Amino acid sequence: METANQRPRRQILWVDDEIDLLRSHIIFLADRGYDVTPATNGEDAVALASERSFDIVLLDEMMAGQDGLTTLDEIKSIHPTLPVVMVTKSEEEELMNEAIGKRIDDYLVKPVNPSQIVLACKRLLDARQIREQKLVRDYVSEFSSLHTQISTAGWSEWMDIFGRLAAWDLEIHSYNDPSLSEMHHSQWRHCNQVFARYVEENYAGWVAVPRTGPITSAEVVRQFVVPHIGARPVYFIVIDCMRLDQWLAIEPLIAEYFAVRREHYYATLPTATPFSRNALFAGMFPAGVARRFPDLWTPGNDEDQSLNRFENQLLVENLARVGVKQPIHYQKVLDASDGRAVLKKIGTWKNAGLVALVFNFVDHLSHGRSESEILQEITPDEASFRSLTVSWFSRSALFEILKWISRTDSTVIVTTDHGSVLGTRATIARGNRETSTNLRYKSGTNLQCDPKEALLVRDPLTFGLPRFTPSTNFIIAKEDFYFVYPTRANEFGRHYRNSFQHGGISLEEMILPVVTLTPRR
């Protein structure tokens, strides 16, 4: 760890009309790496701040002549980001409010001892460096713990592991430490490798014996939505293609208005809208949905809009099976104008026992990024894609809708149908012309894949998937692989590398947040 002797000496401007009485404090600070330039009045302090560079200002609130608040104003007008610590004899609320309003960074109450000053300086000048050093130590310890845990993890432990990985991802990306980022990336990739193997070995068992494994898409409505219906209005909001880390990034904005209870579930395979979202609303695996709507899927059809056209009916029937009789309102929000329309109308749906809203923006952003060079430049990685999601959400109709709901006696359940993964490695898929076009999964006849890089589902029914023909099978990409065909494999491999995709087996696509929000009011 860097010591006071190793780092550049910090420069303090200390403004106090009794500075001569503080010589012992100045000597103490000098011994700890802080050089103090004294000033006895506000005018001299402003002149010094305009002529020289300082790291921090200690400013007496009560001085003869120009007072501390006026001096604060003038210093901030010269250097808006220069940290200023107000030193005051008073803790009056009105004075503190005025000082905070003038962008004071911290305050100390007289009499102050030298250690208090050092702590204040560390808080404002060295906090980031100290946190980063602790972050590295903590992550090295966490790395070892996770490495041990994943070898024997079950479905519940995988939820915990991914929650920790996602939280660490947000923390690590707030610091610029390439070596730590590389360690985290390596850990994440290893976890996905082991997780894919775990899903391959256990998923069919979850389908065959329901409720012996994790809560899946087929059980979300029954487990998380139905228990709330009846007591008060319930809003069920599905944000298409939202990863856990994206939710973690927007959760602090929502927490200002709601008490947040976050849980997790597993998306059904393939982790793509036609399968996982139909399962979410229908309360059954895709094979069951296909039996109910035999014309819904046709081989090779990947169009999300046509394959999800019965969501409202699926939800109504799902709720009816568990005895829910309250009226339901369902609305799909495809763009900003749809969102504004919902915001205007939502107050008229108060008699509905359940209002279900599907927001497609994150999914559109994911798909649009693949075709837009500008979006690829703006969002080259998961962290920047996450930041763009936060930027959208903070200005979105969805956030305004949630704010409106927060002023009512209601319950909100927010979730997603699947996540996405940044595809970085191409893998060869072999099939005929009727094969579906998705990059992370394919259905067709006699499909073949590399078993180390993708899962071959020979009998779709064992995975709860529809069998379009007697010879239908599926291949589902693992980890961060994506499918290309043998012809022009290198060309398409380059074209789709570093694009966000969904439909496969990865932590990011399968383990999803389902969040219950209760208005704080």
- φ/ψ of 92, rounded to 5, equals -60, 135
Q: Whole-angstrom Cα distance, residue 290 to residue 82?
A: 64
Assess whether pLDDT exceeds 80 at residue 521. no
Assess whether pLDDT exceeds 80 at residue 302. no
Q: Whole-angstrom Cα distance, residue 274 to residue 420?
A: 14
Confidence of residue 1 (pLDDT cuts 50, 70, 90): very low
Confidence of residue 222 (pLDDT cuts 50, 70, 90): very high
Confidence of residue 424 (pLDDT cuts 50, 70, 90): very high
CA 158 to the chain's CA centroid: 18
Assess whether pLDDT exceeds 90 at residue 156. yes
The CA–CA distances, whole Å, from 180 to 76, 163, 342, 480, 506 equal 36, 18, 44, 21, 22
CA 439 to the chain's CA centroid: 24
Assess whether pLDDT exceeds 70 at residue 301. no
pTM of the model: 0.83
Looking at 117-228, which runs of residues are DSSP E strands?
Answer: none
pLDDT tens-place string over residues 364-391: 777 667 667 777 777 778 888 899 899 9
Q: Residue 94's pLDDT is what? A: 66
Q: Whole-angstrom Cα distance, residue 397 to residue 466?
A: 36
pLDDT tens-place string over residues 93-146: 666 666 666 678 888 888 888 899 999 888 888 877 777 788 888 888 888 888
Q: Are 404 and 344 in contact (CB under 8 A)?
A: no
Q: Whole-angstrom Cα distance, residue 423 to residue 220?
A: 28
Assess whether pLDDT exceeds 70 at residue 334. yes
Which range, of 96-100, 180-184, 394-398, 415-419, averages the lowest pLDDT? 96-100
Q: Are 296 and 311 in contact (CB under 8 A)?
A: no
Q: Whole-angstrom Cα distance, residue 366 to residue 371?
A: 10
Q: Are 117 and 29 in contact (CB under 8 A)?
A: yes
Q: Which amino acid is at 464?
A: G
Element at 186 (helix H, strand E)? helix 178-208
Set out the domains of the chain in order of their start, with CATH numbers: 10-112 (3.40.50.2300), 127-197 (no CATH), 215-420+509-519 (3.40.720.10), 422-506 (no CATH)
Report the range out of 164-168, 306-310, 318-322, 452-456 with the highest average pLDDT. Answer: 452-456
Upstream peptide bond of 270 is cis (omega within 30 degrees of 0): yes
Round the CA-based radius of gyration of the chain to a whole number and report it.
29
pLDDT tens-place string over residues 484-507: 999 889 999 998 999 899 999 999
Q: Residue 336's pLDDT is what? A: 87
Q: Residue 97's pLDDT is what? A: 64
Across 223-250, average pLDDT = 95
β pairing state of 84-88 and 56-60: parallel
Confidence of residue 453 (pLDDT cuts 50, 70, 90): very high
Q: Residue 309's pLDDT is what? A: 78
**Mean pLDDT, the chain, whole residue set:** 89
Q: Residue 393's pLDDT is what? A: 94
Across 392-397, average pLDDT = 94
Q: Residue 367's pLDDT is what? A: 65
| Helices and strands: H and E segment counts in the chain | 21, 19
